[in-house]
Structure 1
Amino acid sequence: MTRPSVTEFLPAAIEAGEAILRLYAQGTPVERKEGGSPVTEADRAAEAIILAHLARLAPDIPVIAEEEVAAGRVPETGGTFFLVDPLDGTREFINGNGEFTVNIALIADHAPYWGIVSVPVSGELFYGTMLDGAFAARIESGGLGESFAIGVRETPPEGPTVLASRSHRSAETDAFIERAGAADIVSAGSSLKFCRIAAGKADLYPRLSPTMEWDTAAGDAVLRAAGGSVVTLDGDALAYGKRGRVEETDFLNPSFVASGGRVDPKLLKG
């Protein structure tokens, strides 16, 4: 199967972000999905826009999208498929702090082949591919401004900057931060954390509580393209397309650590 170019799909993320911003400005009621996680009209509107773009540009590639899965619409995937989180950081959206993102990723052979992360409030957009590297750009007047290459940094001698989830921090995360000898701890929401590491602004992001594949795939793709890594606590690269496992939810991620470089195994084992 021919794998489509990431640049074809940048307008989908931009248009979805514009729809989110309109609803962000006017406010939208919050509902609760099964399991208690929040969902808003902005999630649904952004997903509908993205799905329309994907159907037009790559009709033969299956799509696993968060709200479609919640509605019970889950196609067979095979080796190549899209993962879509139309509004990652719904809690950030509800709380009004602006740290929410639009995420589109193409998965091939259980790895993120390319990914797009758009930050509607700040106008930032990040994208990366396994072949071409990682890039950042500004969204300007509904289009994409000039893109420039980004890459991870070497950990500063004084110690790493560690990113911690704003909404999902745990005692295990705090213990990891202590083991890592963090020089600075920055709270942040959504997949933006992967992109901050990819752009050389931070060094580590431990996520030691549950996530779904659509939460991580696009940011993971950007970070890997920038020279970083995302590994489980066993030291294996985070894999995608996890389904049909005994007593495991389909597309559920294990705990992982995102890093600008190789992760010390001692950090992973605790």
Structure 2
Amino acid sequence: MAPMGIRLSPVGVGVLCLLGLGVLYHLYSGVISNRLAAFRQRRNVDLRDLLALSVEAAVLGGKEVKRVREENGLQEKSKGKTREGADDPLTMGDLESHRKMYNIMRNTFPDITVNSEEHDQVVDETLLWSRIIPSDIAEKITDQNEVPAESVTVWIDPLDATKEYTESLLKYVTTMVCVAVEGKPVIGVIHQPFNDFTAWALVGQEHVANVHARSSYSITPPKVIVSRSHSGQVKNYVQEAFGNSTTVVEAGGAGYKVLSLLDLPTGEFMEQADIYVHITFIKKWDICAGDALLRALGGHMTTLKGEAIEYSDTPLNKGGLVASVGVDHKDTFIVELMGSTY
């Protein structure tokens, strides 16, 4: 007996066709999604562009910091207490600078991760990078150096030394941007809004910067720069490590302290120090830009145990820090002195 054939009604044929189209659609959309995901993963950013943008963002934020201070519009309030028990102030200078710096970075390169000290709901989609490469950057960096966007983490400090800002100790105030690639700081920008000076550096095959290390540093004993907010505790630590004859300089702002280690064209505006020491917790937006600057100049910023600081995860550095240009932190001299007392 011949096998019976299967007859489909027009409705059944239509259902099968729809099912087939659905399968094809899902297969096709899956291919497209995978290709789009691969395209997104391959999206790169040029480090020279990121450096120029970082300089522009830091200067833009600095203008807001200066404007708010000159208009006496601080509207100061406290974010709480620091670990040392001091007030942690917040001003409109912090917020207005954050809004400019954060939004211009995110609007220009939406695929990178941007971490800022401040948090705010104000979104300004009109802020975009001018696409101008400053002449000093263009002259020193002629080649492209692209990195995957997903490997980039940007750390922004919209107003470093807020306490000093409220006390009109304005020489300590900076705005800072740091670009880390796979956790390593490669771009550092420290802008002094009340001195109209911007230090920048790019760490790469050829380290380039617009600032220089000093010709000599004193190490035995050094002049050590520390935080104003808990100087007594640090003084004891420093003198135990380097000896009672060590000179200790108190200053505000991590950005300012790093600049004090360098030879700046505005030297009369700055303290000069040989080593920067901090012994308590410190946030990475405070130190990342300085770390990149020092690396580009052959210097170092490490934990007190001589370990490199990583800049792609938690914002808190718990290991303290020692920063210098004239000392190798792997040298037994530093490891023994710092490690034995920490």
What TM-score do the two structures reach when normalised by structure 1?
A: 0.82
Q: Offset at 1:14? A: 1.1
Residues 92-136 of structure 1: CA deviation (Å, up to 9, x unaligned): 10111011110111011211111110011122211111124353x
**Alignment partner of 1:265 is 2:327:** no
Counterpart for residue 64 of structure 1:
115
**Alignment partner of 1:30 is 2:76:** yes
Alignment of 1:91-240 (within 5 A): 91-98=163-170, 99-131=172-204, 132-133=206-207, 135=209, 148-156=210-218, 159-181=221-243, 183-190=246-253, 191-199=255-263, 201-240=272-311
Q: Offset at 1:157? A: 6.6
Rate the CA distance shift 1:267–1:189 in 2: closer, same or farther, 3 A.
same
Rate the CA distance shift 1:50–1:34 in 2: closer, same or farther, 3 A.
same
Unaligned runs of 5+ in 1: 72-76, 136-147, 244-249
What TM-score do the two structures reach when normalised by structure 2?
A: 0.66
Rate the CA distance shift 1:208–1:192 in 2: closer, same or farther, 3 A.
same
Do the aligned residues in 1 keep the contact of 2:174 with 2:191 (CA within 8 Å)?
Answer: yes
Q: What is the percent sequence identity of the aligned residues?
A: 24
Rate the CA distance shift 1:23–1:251 in 2: closer, same or farther, 3 A.
same
Higher strand share: 1
Between Structure 1 and Structure 2, whose CA radius of gyration is higher? Answer: 2
Q: Offset at 1:204? A: 0.5
Residues 201-243 of structure 1: CA deviation (Å, up to 9, x unaligned): 4211110012111111111111111111011122111222233
Counterpart for residue 143 of structure 1:
none
In 1: Cα distance, 2:181 partner to 2:307 partner: 17
Rate the CA distance shift 1:80–1:110 in 2: closer, same or farther, 3 A.
same
Do the aligned residues in 2 keep the contact of 1:66 with 1:214 (CA within 8 Å)?
Answer: yes
Higher-RCO chain (CA-CA 8 Å, sequence separation at least 6):
1
Counterpart for residue 320 of structure 2:
255
Q: Offset at 1:172? A: 4.2
Q: Offset at 1:4? A: 2.8
Higher helix share: 2
Query: How many residues of Structure 1 are paired with residues of Structure 2 in the alignment?
Result: 246
- SS in structure 2 opposite 1:193? helix
Q: Offset at 1:89? A: 0.7
Unaligned runs of 5+ in 2: 1-43, 82-86, 122-148, 265-271
Counterpart for residue 81 of structure 1:
153
Do the aligned residues in 2 keep the contact of 1:241 with 1:251 (CA within 8 Å)?
Answer: no
**Alignment partner of 1:51 is 2:95:** no
Q: Over aligned residue pairs, what C-alpha RMSD do you find?
A: 2.4
- SS in structure 1 opposite 2:260? helix
Q: Offset at 1:152? A: 4.8
Farther off after superposition, 156-165 or 223-232:
156-165
- SS in structure 2 opposite 1:2? strand
In 2: Cα distance, 1:208 partner to 1:157 partner: 19
- SS in structure 1 opposite 2:55? helix
Do the aligned residues in 2 keep the contact of 1:103 with 1:117 (CA within 8 Å)?
Answer: yes
Q: Offset at 1:177? A: 3.6
